[in-house]
Structure 1
Amino acid sequence: MLEFSKRSNTLEQSAYKYSLQDIEEPNLYRDLFPYESVPRISFNHRVVPMYVPDDIWITDTTFRDGQQSQAPFTVKQIVDLYDLLHRLSGPNGVIRQSEFFLYTSKDKEALEKCLEKGYEYPEITSWIRATKGDFELVKDMGLKETGILVSCSDYHIFKKLNMSRAQAMDKYLAVVKQALEYGIKPRCHFEDITRADFYGFVVPFAIELRKLMEQTGIPIKIRACDTLGYGVSFPGIALPRSVPGIIYGLRHHAGFPSELLEWHGHNDFYKAVPNSTAAWLYGASSVNCSLLGIGERTGNCPLEAMAIEYVSLRGDENGMDLSAITDIAEYFKYEMGYTIPPQTPFVGKNFNVTRAGIHADGLLKDEEIYNIFDTGAILKRPPLVAIGPHSGLAGIAHWLNTYFDLERKGIKVDKKHPVVIQMKDKVDEYYQEDRTTVLSDEELEDIIKSIDMEFYKAISSRKGIKKWV
């Protein structure tokens, strides 16, 4: 039978009607996930069409999934980071939502203080257990949406919940109905979707959710959770690991619109960013991330990475203040004691530092030669030059000013400064001893300390740096 599709404006064969496959033994996809060996990537060479939504955005899980990976944040830290998320998002809601816990008195205090800000973006949402008390808590806090866990792989249904697929679906649907009765928009977290039976459970369950949505008129979101980072975005990947296949299937077979589809990916196999991008490209409006990628095990998709990716795909910032990325990184470092690996893109200490001697020479002549974009103007992080035998007084002065951010502190130096001159003498001594590599930042700091400790204390002080928000 043929039907005209308004989505593609073409005649299409009627889609197969998927129903729950209530099997007796769990399907663990042992050919893909042998456990005693590295998981396999399987191709079926089926390619689904790209379908980029009219609007794409980012959601934040720093205060939920991210916070689970380290010492709990203080109320002040949550409020300050929420302010920074608001600044990064801009007025158009590129960072559309941020989810919070509601359990402890500290959780509630932080949420209330953030609500008092009155920001439109990011909208505050919650994540709860499926209990009556938690639903009442969401309603009492005045929140419009909450996340609900609905694990969908047989690993979770059979092994964790000790249920059949039919029992799990009945339980999940009852929970969703309860949320709808409270007038709360449910966001269903399809946990472990990249190990789930897509046509035997995921699509049939999603179809039942769509029916509930049509009956009540209340939107229901699906968050496709790549809980262990198994998702793969290459063309022709077979389900259940195919990110394009999952997003396409939820749209095409389950009938969910893009604006109700969200991707949540972990980074266990270094694929969090490309998988999130693929989710956008194949029809999910939303990707869920955390600041600096913090989260369980290897973490979530870094929010700052997707902010940059957004600009790459859309062609402009859409109101985002990307310089907030640097302030967020500094806040984590100085206010929270968080160590950011130095090579981390956009936020690491060395992400735009040129160390090779020939590269440093090129950067000094024209930074565009060896810098990814104008990191000084966009991220407030001008490129740094590592010091070598040919850096000269100007190179050392440049390093001092940029490494210690002296212009922002109002104590910028030039090549005639006595410490710069003495540093050059010390650097020359290193290379008189047949050294060939550039000096590390730590070595240069030691040189300054040996020359003038009071000067070092003055330039390394954070006095004069403007407030984070």
Structure 2
Amino acid sequence: MKSLRKSSYEHCLQNVGTPNLYKDIFPYSEVPKVNFNQIQVPMDLPENIWITDTTFRDGQQSMPPYAAEQIIRIFDYLHKLDNNSGIIRQTEFFLYTEKDRKAAQVCMERGYKFPEVTSWIRANKEDFKLVKEMGIKETGMLMSCSDYHIFKKLNKTRQQAMDMYLSIVEEALNNGIHPRCHLEDITRADFYGFVVPFVNKLMELSKQSNIPIKIRACDTLGLGVPYSGASLPRSVQGLIHGLRTNCGVPSEMIEWHGHNDFYAVVSNSSTAWLYGASSINTSLLGIGERTGNCPLEAMIFEYAQLKGSTGNMNLHVITELAQYFKKEMNYNIPERTPFVGSQFNVTRAGIHADGILKDEEIYNIFDTDKILDRPVVVAVNQYSGLAGIAAWINTYYRLKDDEKVDKKDPRVGEIREWVEEQYKEGRTTIIGNNELELMVEKYMPEILKKSETKAS
């Protein structure tokens, strides 16, 4: 990967008296605007990219708190999913309760290389004591960087906010702990008036201490846009490129953290990768504040498409995790959610079922059976026809090659007649798998026997 030379122009902190709230872009009484300056920045996907996880931090704060044993079990699942590939590199923990500290300690004692246990604290020295007591090597620290937060939430000036943030970073460095600076609300921040001079100070501290300092760019309200030529502060391309060229932050020290308020969390995260950030912060199933974080499972498939493989990751664990959240944690996954929803690879349309009957590649995104342990499924309703019923039998019982049932099989016709009769009598719901099993048992008992033999 080619290195980008830091700009020779040094940006100074603009310690303004009144906040810059970008009211032309964020009028509040209207939907936010996207402005364009037509500046094109170069795409530069780093050689090494990876995923980090915030399931136990941002994910946990948006739903009933996880029990300690649930945290530990999910952590084990993350390790199993990563399978020592290093693609899921870190996960972060709250340390505010005895339960969370105990869970983090147990996870650290597992001794896994991936994911590494890190923590999250507010930018104050009292929180920092928790990190030191736990012996955690890296911690994230909240550092709000927009004037919305600096002036309205913290009631400080930009200079006061910067000084406070720098002091807590210095405290971490003095104790040999690696700081990860979470630049909250960066997509509404004055990039050249606050972010760049602040990050430049952080890079100076990093150089002086010889300890890496990570920069997490936080799209707190999901306002980032991936469009080429978009203006700051909303441009994901511009933010990542600017951190690298104006501040000299290496790609491996840049992490993107997005939210899904405008349905753009995955495209924004991929854009951050493509324009120079090595790390994308995610949560399992996208669980997080308001509309959620970037789904970890989504970025695994983005990684696969950008890099051509997922190494030795065990992607079947994605399905196991979805089942765990549903059964053990009573979490409702919307049924059409890609990769994890109960209906993500289910087809109801008769013409699609006919295509799947001929070759499932026609209407399935990839071999979901092989990759996710989720065979393609055909739902049966009044529109399914012979093809739909035959396709259901073949997919449900995982029949291969010569075992497959043809739609011209007269027994398929008998099942179709039964289905049609159901809807003539006023039925409005799809035919359940258990009902179709009974029909197969009645008309095709040999298929049931083959299925039982395979299972045993």
| Equivalent position to 1:34, from 13, 23, 27 | 27
Matched, 1:342 2:340: no
CA contact (8 A) 1:210 1:254 kept: yes
Give, in whole Å, the separation in 2 of the partners of 1:431 and 1:226.
49
Question: What's the offset of the Cα at 1:133?
Answer: 3.6
Partner residue of 1:59?
Answer: 52
| Equivalent position to 2:366, from 348, 363, 373 | 373
AA paired with 2:114?
A: Y
Give, in whole Å, the separation in 2 of the partners of 1:259 and 1:13.
16
AA paired with 1:428?
A: E
CA offsets, 1:418-466, max 9 Å, x none? x99996553131355699x9x63xx4257469989xxxxxx9xxxxxx9
| Equivalent position to 2:240, from 243, 247, 265 | 247
Partner residue of 2:159?
Answer: 166
Give, in whole Å, the separation in 2 of the partners of 1:152 and 1:82.
31
CA offsets, 1:299-343, max 9 Å, x none? 000000000110100011122111111111111111111101111
| Equivalent position to 1:430, from 401, 419, 422 | 422
CA contact (8 A) 1:392 1:424 kept: no
Partner residue of 1:147?
Answer: 140
Question: What's the offset of the Cα at 1:390?
Answer: 1.5
Question: What's the offset of the Cα at 1:130?
Answer: 3.0
How many residues are paired up? Answer: 432
**Measured at CA, do residues 392 and 177 of structure 1 come closer, stay the same or move farther in structure 2, by a change above 3 Å?**
closer
CA contact (8 A) 1:100 1:107 kept: yes
Question: What's the offset of the Cα at 1:168?
Answer: 0.6
**Measured at CA, do residues 426 and 44 of structure 1 come closer, stay the same or move farther in structure 2, by a change above 3 Å?**
same
CA offsets, 1:144-194, max 9 Å, x none? 000101100000000000011011101111111111112111100000000
CA contact (8 A) 1:189 1:225 kept: yes
Partner residue of 1:463?
Answer: none
Residue 15 of structure 1 aligns to a residue in which SS?
Answer: coil
CA contact (8 A) 1:386 1:399 kept: no
Give, in whole Å, the separation in 1 of the partners of 2:166 and 2:388.
69
CA contact (8 A) 1:272 1:300 kept: yes
The two structures, once aligned, show a CA RMSD in angstroms of 2.8
Give, in whole Å, the separation in 2 of the partners of 1:13 and 1:288.
25
**Measured at CA, do residues 104 and 434 of structure 1 come closer, stay the same or move farther in structure 2, by a change above 3 Å?**
closer
Where do 1:266-285 residues align within 5 Å?
266-285=259-278
Give, in whole Å, the separation in 2 of the partners of 1:148 and 1:228.
18
The answer to which of 387-396 and 155-164 deviates more is 387-396
Partner residue of 1:86?
Answer: 79
Partner residue of 2:393?
Answer: 397
| Equivalent position to 1:359, from 348, 352, 358 | 352
- Please list every run of 5 or more consecutive structure 2 residues that lacks an aligned counterpart in the other structure: 441-447, 449-454
Partner residue of 2:451?
Answer: none
**Measured at CA, do residues 47 and 396 of structure 1 come closer, stay the same or move farther in structure 2, by a change above 3 Å?**
closer
Question: What's the offset of the Cα at 1:90?
Answer: 2.2
**Measured at CA, do residues 205 and 13 of structure 1 come closer, stay the same or move farther in structure 2, by a change above 3 Å?**
closer
Question: What's the offset of the Cα at 1:104?
Answer: 0.8
AA paired with 2:3?
A: R
- Please list every run of 5 or more consecutive structure 1 residues that lacks an aligned counterpart in the other structure: 1-5, 408-412, 453-458, 460-465
Residue 85 of structure 1 aligns to a residue in which SS?
Answer: helix
CA contact (8 A) 2:223 2:261 kept: yes
Give, in whole Å, the separation in 2 of the partners of 1:359 and 1:178.
61
Give, in whole Å, the separation in 2 of the partners of 1:382 and 1:448.
17
The answer to which of 71-80 and 265-274 deviates more is 71-80
CA contact (8 A) 2:353 2:391 kept: no
Give, in whole Å, the separation in 1 of the partners of 2:209 and 2:318.
40
AA paired with 1:444?
A: G
AA paired with 1:148?
A: M
Give, in whole Å, the separation in 1 of the partners of 2:95 and 2:417.
59
Question: What's the offset of the Cα at 1:138?
Answer: 1.2
Residue 149 of structure 1 aligns to a residue in which SS?
Answer: strand
Question: What's the offset of the Cα at 1:131?
Answer: 3.4
**Measured at CA, do residues 68 and 397 of structure 1 come closer, stay the same or move farther in structure 2, by a change above 3 Å?**
same
Superposition TM-score, scaled by structure 1 size: 0.86
Partner residue of 2:41?
Answer: 48
Where do 1:426-465 residues align within 5 Å?
426-430=418-422, 440=430, 443-444=431-432, 447=435
Question: What's the offset of the Cα at 1:116?
Answer: 1.9
CA offsets, 1:370-408, max 9 Å, x none? 000011000001111122222476444346447xxx99x
Partner residue of 1:112?
Answer: 105
CA contact (8 A) 2:354 2:391 kept: no
CA contact (8 A) 1:426 1:447 kept: no
Partner residue of 1:200?
Answer: 193
Matched, 1:305 2:298: yes
Question: What's the offset of the Cα at 1:237?
Answer: 0.3
